Amino acid sequence: MTLAGCAAGVLGLAGSAAVLGQTTSAPREIRQEAAAGASQPSVVETQWNLVELNGSSVNVSAAEGQVYIYLQQDGDKLSGSDGCNRFFGSYDLSGMSLEFHSVAQTMMACQGSFTGREAEFMDALKLVTGYQISGDVLQLKVEDRVLARFQARKK
């Protein structure tokens, strides 16, 4: 093989690799609920405070720390707190479908009224397959069953 042929082959492979390595990013899905009113918060970029877990009310005093989730639109990141420990992960959102992935949390020793339900809360997040917003209330669901209800944080 000649030097020119070898160089052309290398350049051809490099060009193919550059094309193969490129990713086209599809336009980011518009994340607003259809027919959402101006006063209805979005599932993303809103702090959602837990008010009910598996059909049971959650009453946490302000001194104990708020139990909440927050879905950051940039990077599809999930963050939140169970009142003591912080958690983080990622999410997939498509229409009314919602799933959380790679959820991990800090492991500080805590005392408080929600301490016994931390594992229940984390387990519920792992089961979520969809959501519904009505007014300022977010319901996280698995199929038709409501796992948790949250209220949008008042500003």
Q: Are 43 and 98 in contact (CB under 8 A)?
A: yes
Full pLDDT tens readout for the chain, 155 residues = 444 444 444 334 334 333 333 333 333 333 443 344 457 899 999 999 999 999 999 988 777 889 999 999 999 999 999 988 999 999 999 999 999 999 999 999 888 778 788 999 999 999 999 999 999 999 999 999 999 999 999 76
Task: Check residue 131 and give left, alpha or beta (phi > 0: left; psi -120 to 50: alpha).
Answer: beta
pLDDT at res. 28: 38
**47 vs 81: CA distance, rounded Å:** 11
pLDDT at residue 90, rounded to an integer: 98
Three-class DSSP labels, 44-57 = CCCEEEEEEECCEE
- Among the listed residues 6, 104, 120, 115, the one whose alpha carbon sits nearest the alpha carbon of residue 52: 120
User: pTM to 2 decimals?
Assistant: 0.73
Domain boundaries, the chain: 47-152
Cβ–Cβ contacts within 10 Å for residue 33, how many? 16
CATH of range 47-152; options 2.40.128.270, 3.40.30.10, 3.40.50.2000, 1.10.3720.10: 2.40.128.270
pLDDT of residue 59: 86
Residues 6+ apart with CB under 8 A from 76: 90, 91, 92, 93
| Alpha carbon of residue 40 to chain centroid | 19
Cα distances from 138 to residues 18, 19, 127, in angstroms, run 44, 43, 16
Measured in whole angstroms, the distance separating CA 64 from the mean position of its chain's CA atoms is 24
Q: What is the pLDDT of residue 78?
A: 98
